[in-house]
Structure 1
Amino acid sequence: MEPGTVTRVSPGSALYYLDPGAFGPATYCSVYLYDTPRPAVIDTGLGTNYQTILDALETLGIDCADLAIVPTHVHLDHAGGAGYLAEACPEATVYVHEAGASHLVDPARLWAGTRAAVGEQIQYYIEPKPVPEARIVELGDGDRIDLGDRELSVHHAPGHAFHQAVFQDQSTGGVFTADAAGIHTPGVDGVRPTSPPPGFDLAGCLADVEMIQELDPTALYYAHFGPAEPADLLDEYATVLESWVESVADKRAELGADDAVVEYFVSRTDTVEAWGPVKARAETAMNVRGVLEYLDEA
């Protein structure tokens, strides 16, 4: 999929998705668009690429005056464009889990934390713009977002990040998984773990997977990347997560120094062809550091 190409998730659906072009040529971030009576954008990608989203809305003939901007969580590959879209669409409303709302109003700490966490990937980012507090609706577990002809139910999913939520379309049963179901992208075999610092929690992530399973989703709308049939992907992700944490723990016991553990996994990353060398290696390093911090706190 070329960045900016708008694709309907299934025939006749009011839901579309696109790659906003984050992280160079890699098909990594999904942005979803609802062409519904109350239109919505689910996740926003990096602020660097917000114009691509605005162009997609125009392509679909969607007026952004009453737009719902809905980041699944405030990590900047999901919410980095929220302030830019809010500025471009001055009557739009931003919906975000209550635990992350303050970071959209004043993103200074979020920006500093991102710079510390993502390593070389920072070249793809741009500093987020604040969202006026009056334009934010804070969401809690069990809340619903009204899109006119359907509702999105809100389900707190704090294992990956304390401010993460997943959303289920009550009309179709599809679930926007955020990072709670891992990474499932073209060109990368299987489901991959995502365990960035700070705040990754294995038990919490496994509980989130179980929660999504209990929603009995008809489709999984991955933030990384695109729609997928549920099949056994959730069971697979639970197994992958446990194996990933165990492998990092074992390698730390063998090598001792955390820098050596990070380098071991970075040197063996197999996503370079799909994501490019900078994204692939920096992503692996970040995920290893997240597990190491989790092991320190466990």
Structure 2
Amino acid sequence: MAIGDLREVTMGDCSDLYYLDTGMYDTEAYGAVYILDTDRPAIVETGIGTHYERILDALSELDIAREDVAVIAPTHVHLDHAGGAGFLAAECPNADVYVHEIGARHLVNPEYLVKGTKAAVGDQWQFYVEPKPVPEERVVEVTDGDTIDCGSHELDVIHAPGHAPHQTMFYDPANDAVFTADAAGIWVPSIGEIRETSPPSDFDLDQCLDDVETIRDLAPGTLLYTHFGPREYSEDAMDEYGEVLSKWVAAVDAQRAAADDDEEIIEHFVEEGEMDEIWGETKAHAETAMNTRGVLHYLDTHEGM
């Protein structure tokens, strides 16, 4: 699947559902946006704002008028998921933007979010664009247990705070599919493996493992990863991510005991990285550095680690 490609999700019971490779970080198969083609069309996730026109092109390809889009639903306000919300809201004038109540204010005034993102992503900021604020009257705050009306489909809101306190997953009962946000890790379809995601400063291992169990209890037919694409659900997928996360945190903790400072630890894992050939050196190194910083912050703030 190449950057800009739009494909129908045909896995499991899915219908009326498409996903787009947005070309996030100029990297193939890293950032997906989903479109529900219903009588109340919905865009789930919005990308980082860069190349948001690709989402508008996908609407055109599906013969969905911008004025007909009813729902824009980022799973959380990290800019790789919500950075395009303001741009899409401006182009889809009848759509409301649904987001967890903890993060809603950051879409209206993204100043603090931008500052935090720059600190977290470092050199990756070159791929971003300053987000466009979403008008306050267009933001609908949701929380665990709420339902978003998408016409012939609904999105059940499930709070999943391990990756970030404002993260939600969305379960589509008609499709028996869950939009996983970052709660199930990063799915790399080209190698059939799950990679960790542990950015600063909100990553919490215990809560992340609880989120994995939430998905396990739900046992949907299909997992819809923002990073990247659909995957058939299995118990093994949940076991795999729980193990990946636990081993990752343990590895950083062990290296911290052997190294003099955090930058030395970060450099160690960057040099050991295995994703250069998949994501390219620039993205792979930046991803590893960010994830290492997130674990170091977690270890610093949790006793007994």
**Shorter-chain TM-score: what band?**
over 0.9
Name the amino acid aligned to 2:5: T
Give RMSD over aligned pairs.
1.1
Residues in 1 aligned to 2:260 and 2:232: alpha-carbon distance in whole angstroms: 41
Residues in 2 aligned to 1:16 and 1:91: alpha-carbon distance in whole angstroms: 21
Question: Is 1:159 the counterpart of 2:191 in the alignment?
Answer: no
Question: Is 1:239 the counterpart of 2:270 in the alignment?
Answer: no
Residues in 1 aligned to 2:261 and 2:3: alpha-carbon distance in whole angstroms: 40
Aligned pair partner of 2:194 in 177, 186, 191: 191
CA contact (8 A) 2:33 2:47 kept: yes
Q: Greater share of strand residues, 1 or 2?
A: 2
Residues in 2 aligned to 1:3 and 1:61: alpha-carbon distance in whole angstroms: 20
Residues in 2 aligned to 1:150 and 1:94: alpha-carbon distance in whole angstroms: 17
Residue of structure 1 in register with 2:288 after alignment: 284
Question: 1:188, CA displacement in angstroms?
Answer: 4.2
Question: 1:189, CA displacement in angstroms?
Answer: 4.8
Deviations, residues 54-112 of structure 1 (Å, cap 9, x unaligned) = 00000000122242100000111100100000011122110111111000000000011
Residue of structure 2 in register with 1:7 after alignment: 7
Question: Is 1:114 the counterpart of 2:117 in the alignment?
Answer: yes
Deviations, residues 225-252 of structure 1 (Å, cap 9, x unaligned) = 0000112111110111111000000000
Name the amino acid aligned to 2:8: R
Question: 1:187, CA displacement in angstroms?
Answer: 3.0
Residue of structure 2 in register with 1:44 after alignment: 46
Question: Aligned pair count?
Answer: 298
Residues in 1 aligned to 2:78 and 2:107: alpha-carbon distance in whole angstroms: 10
Aligned pair partner of 2:185 in 176, 182, 190: 182
Residue of structure 2 in register with 1:96 after alignment: 99
Aligned positions of 1:14-33 closer than 5 A: 14-33=16-35
Residue of structure 2 in register with 1:221 after alignment: 224
Deviations, residues 143-167 of structure 1 (Å, cap 9, x unaligned) = 0011111211000000000100000
Name the amino acid aligned to 2:262: D
Q: Which moved further from structure 2: 7-16 or 147-156?
A: 7-16
Residue of structure 1 in register with 2:299 after alignment: 295
Residue of structure 2 in register with 1:70 after alignment: 73
Residues in 1 aligned to 2:154 and 2:120: alpha-carbon distance in whole angstroms: 34
Aligned pair partner of 2:210 in 207, 211, 224: 207
Residues in 2 aligned to 1:59 and 1:184: alpha-carbon distance in whole angstroms: 26
Moved >4 Å (runs of 4+): none
Residue of structure 2 in register with 1:173 after alignment: 176
Q: What TM-score do the two structures reach when normalised by structure 1?
A: 0.98
CA contact (8 A) 1:186 1:274 kept: no
Residues in 2 aligned to 1:40 and 1:288: alpha-carbon distance in whole angstroms: 34
